[in-house]
């Protein structure tokens, strides 16, 4: 058994089948080149015979990266010749390696494909042999292999034997329905390796039972040397096996060799794919999520600061992530001190105690700083001797009109003063009262602080703190802002949603303006 494992990425084909995901050709090119930099061995380019977008993308990357790009297709049609099959002809003109899938479950052959078991074996053999004759290294994906192996093991294995005898370079066992258990995958993989000696075996798992990663690792433990999956586990239904969990598990837990992979890029690649797919990056993902190394409990944080491995199974920087110490009512002075040091400050114990007490008071009133580091920093700033707020809000008004053609229109007027007492009074429209306030506040302050022209709100969340109080309940508002260089989040709490929003809005602008030591 070799320690070398090959990573086969199918984000741009199988991952693109996720509901709500649609990669443009430009998106695919960007993701492809990021995956090349990351160091995966094979990148599936899609099914060029299926649509013009995949055909164009495959043509471009097959020319520039023939050893990495892998075009995907199926076995020849029923009762046809492989050399005349349009899909196989396109694969024959692609890169050095191609991948085709074929049926390995007798039930699917008869009922879905509508042919005989013997014809299916010939389709597999002919297709592989034709592509090999065209100089291609062929990865054969045995679709529904584990279902087939459980229903009729003899036939499922005969399909793989047909592919191997025809010259396939890889035999990949697909858990297409995602319903297999790791113990089944382990036994089936051992069975295949014994039945088809000399041909390396891969695993392709889906996550319908939340076992995609576990099944992939079980196959490797049994001798598989290729793992197929997607970045972030994106894919149809419940997704594919998540390479962002599989890759570090292979290297850091199992001691396998992935010589081309730059592990420190893992978190960055994960975020890049989420951004390219226009989906929210999942904060709770192992290894790469924003919360993967976030610590909240005071005793946990104290222990991590002394010995990180007490509550971290791997060092976050090994996978390109970072440790986060969450400020909350569970935090002790050690947590607050470490948080302030992480901001470049060198606080004394008296200041740490004051900040800790203030945090606990505010959290008792409904504030939460776990996801609002900017608001926490403002607490520290405001307790720093000599700190002066860059502006104050002298007053504001909101006006809403109902217009029959365009719905309710909102207008906000606001009066602000800068540090020198200069006053500005202005108004602005908006899509709702909060947007109108945001526009008016920035419009007024830009006269004093032109740099605010680059600041914009990117996210706005409202959380009701006591559902039983219904419309009288206090709310927590989180606002995320950016100036194109950094991103920060502030929080406001009130039993009036407009006031809570204004607190978070004004804090976001104060954070953008305030000069700070340690930064």
Highest mean pLDDT among 50-59, 406-415, 462-471: 50-59
CA dihedral 102, 106, 110, 115 (to 10 degrees): 50
pLDDT for residue 404: 52
Distance CA 276, CA 163 (A): 36
Distance CA 185, CA 181 (A): 6
pLDDT for residue 484: 81
Is 136 or 518 the better-scoring residue by pLDDT? 136
pLDDT band, very low/low/confident/very high, at 434 (cuts 50, 70, 90): confident
HEC profile for 14-73?
CHHHCCCCCCCHHHHHHHHHHHHHHCCCEEEEECCCCCHHHHHHHHHHHHHCCCCEEEEE
| Residue 42: both structure tokens together | 């094979």
The pLDDT of residue 357 is above 50 = yes
Q: 3-class SS at 438?
A: helix
Distance CA 325, CA 308 (A): 12
pLDDT for residue 469: 54
Instruction: Give the tens place of pLDDT for each residue, 218-243.
Output: 999 999 999 999 999 999 999 999 99
The pLDDT of residue 200 is above 70 = yes
Output Rg (C-alpha) for the chain, integer angstroms: 29
Question: What are residue 438's phi and psi, to 5 degrees?
Answer: -60, -50
The pLDDT of residue 519 is above 50 = no
pLDDT band, very low/low/confident/very high, at 482 (cuts 50, 70, 90): confident
pLDDT for residue 307: 84
Instruction: Give the tens place of pLDDT for each residue, 30-43.
Output: 899 999 999 999 99
The pLDDT of residue 49 is above 70 = yes
Is 311 or 33 the better-scoring residue by pLDDT? 33
pLDDT for residue 403: 61
| Residue 117: both structure tokens together | 């078991």
Q: What percent of the chain has pLDDT over 70?
A: 92
pLDDT for residue 93: 94
pLDDT for residue 32: 96
- CA distances to 136, 242, 284, 295, 469 from 291, rounded to whole Å, are 43, 17, 5, 8, 31
3-state helix, strand, coil in the chain (%, to 5): 45, 20, 35
CB 305 within 8 A of CB 334: yes
DSSP 8-class letter at 162: H
pLDDT for residue 480: 87
The pLDDT of residue 156 is above 80 = yes
Q: 3-class SS at 341?
A: helix
The pLDDT of residue 370 is above 70 = no
| Residue 391: both structure tokens together | 């502006």
Distance CA 238, CA 371 (A): 28
Half-sphere exposure of 483 (CA within 13 A, CB side): 15
Question: What are residue 413's phi and psi, to 5 degrees?
Answer: -115, 140
- Mark 158-197 as b/e (b = at least 16 C-beta within 10 Å): bbbbbbbebbbbbbbbbbbebebebebbbebbbbbbebbe
pLDDT for residue 483: 85
Q: Provide mean pLDDT across the span 394-402.
A: 85
Q: Provide mean pLDDT across the span 260-267.
A: 94
Return the minimum-mean-pLDDT range out of 3-17, 55-69, 71-85, 276-290: 276-290
Residue in this structure with the two tokens 């050709």, named with its chain if needed: 25
pLDDT band, very low/low/confident/very high, at 137 (cuts 50, 70, 90): very high
A 10 A CB-CB count for 256 gives: 18
- Mark 31-54 as b/e (b = at least 16 C-beta within 10 Å): bbebbbebbbbbbbbbbbbeeebb
pLDDT band, very low/low/confident/very high, at 252 (cuts 50, 70, 90): very high
- 202: β partners: 172, 226
pLDDT for residue 330: 53
Residue in this structure with the two tokens 């920087």, named with its chain if needed: 317
Return the minimum-mean-pLDDT range out of 134-143, 357-366, 464-473: 464-473
Q: Provide mean pLDDT across the span 368-388.
A: 83
């Amino acid at each position: 058994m070799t320690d070398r494992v090959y990573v086969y990425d199918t984000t741009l084909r199988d991952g693109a089948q996720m509901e709500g995901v649609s990669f443009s050709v430009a998106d695919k090119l960007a993701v492809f080149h990021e995956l090349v930099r990351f160091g995966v061995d094979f990148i599936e380019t899609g099914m060029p015979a299926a649509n013009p977008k995949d055909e164009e993308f495959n043509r471009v990357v097959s020319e520039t990266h023939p050893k990495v790009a892998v075009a995907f297709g199926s076995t020849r049609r029923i009762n046809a010749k492989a050399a005349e099959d349009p899909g196989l002809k396109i694969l024959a003109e692609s890169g050095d390696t191609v991948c085709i899938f074929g049926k390995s479950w007798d039930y699917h052959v008869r009922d879905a494909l509508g042919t005989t078991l013997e014809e299916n074996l010939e389709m597999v053999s002919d297709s592989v042999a034709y592509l090999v004759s065209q100089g291609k290294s062929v990865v054969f994906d045995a679709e529904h292999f584990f279902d087939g192996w459980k229903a009729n093991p003899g036939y499922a294995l005969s399909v793989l034997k047909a592919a191997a005898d025809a010259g396939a370079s890889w035999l990949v066992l697909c858990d297409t329905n995602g319903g297999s258990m790791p113990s089944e995958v382990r036994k089936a993989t051992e069975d295949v390796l014994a039945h088809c000696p000399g041909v390396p075996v891969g695993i392709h798992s889906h996550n319908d039972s939340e076992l995609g990663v576990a099944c992939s690792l079980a196959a490797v433990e049994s001798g598989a040397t290729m793992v197929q999956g997607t970045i972030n586990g994106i894919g149809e239904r419940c997704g594919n096996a998540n390479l962002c969990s599989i890759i570090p598990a292979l290297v850091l837990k199992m001691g396998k060799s992935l010589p081309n992979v730059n592990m420190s890029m893992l978190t960055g690649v994960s975020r890049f794919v989420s951004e390219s797919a226009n989906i929210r990056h999942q904060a709770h993902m192992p290894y790469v999520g924003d919360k993967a190394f976030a610590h909240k409990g005071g005793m946990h944080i104290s222990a991590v600061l002394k010995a990180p491995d007490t509550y971290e199974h791997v060092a976050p920087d090994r996978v390109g992530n970072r440790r986060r110490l969450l400020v909350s009512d569970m935090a002790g002075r050690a947590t607050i001190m470490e948080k302030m040091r992480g901001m470049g400050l060198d606080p004394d114990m008296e200041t740490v105690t004051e900040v800790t007490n203030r945090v606990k008071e505010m959290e008792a009133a409904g504030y939460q700083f776990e996801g609002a580091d900017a608001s926490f920093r403002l607490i520290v700033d405001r307790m720093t001797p000599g700190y002066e707020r860059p502006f104050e809000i002298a007053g504001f008004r909101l006006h809403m009109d109902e217009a029959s053609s365009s719905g309710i229109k909102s207008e906000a007027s606001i009066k602000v003063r800068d540090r020198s007492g200069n006053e500005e009074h202005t108004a602005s429209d908006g899509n709702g009262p909060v947007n109108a306030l945001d526009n008016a506040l920035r419009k007024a302050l830009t006269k004093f602080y032109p740099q605010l022209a680059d600041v914009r709100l990117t996210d706005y969340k409202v959380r009701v703190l006591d559902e039983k109080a219904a419309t009288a309940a206090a709310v927590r508002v989180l606002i995320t802002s950016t100036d194109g260089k950094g991103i920060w989040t502030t929080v406001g709490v009130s039993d009036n949603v407009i006031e809570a929003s204004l607190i978070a809005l004004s804090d976001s602008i104060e954070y953008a303006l305030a000069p700070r030591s340690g930064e």
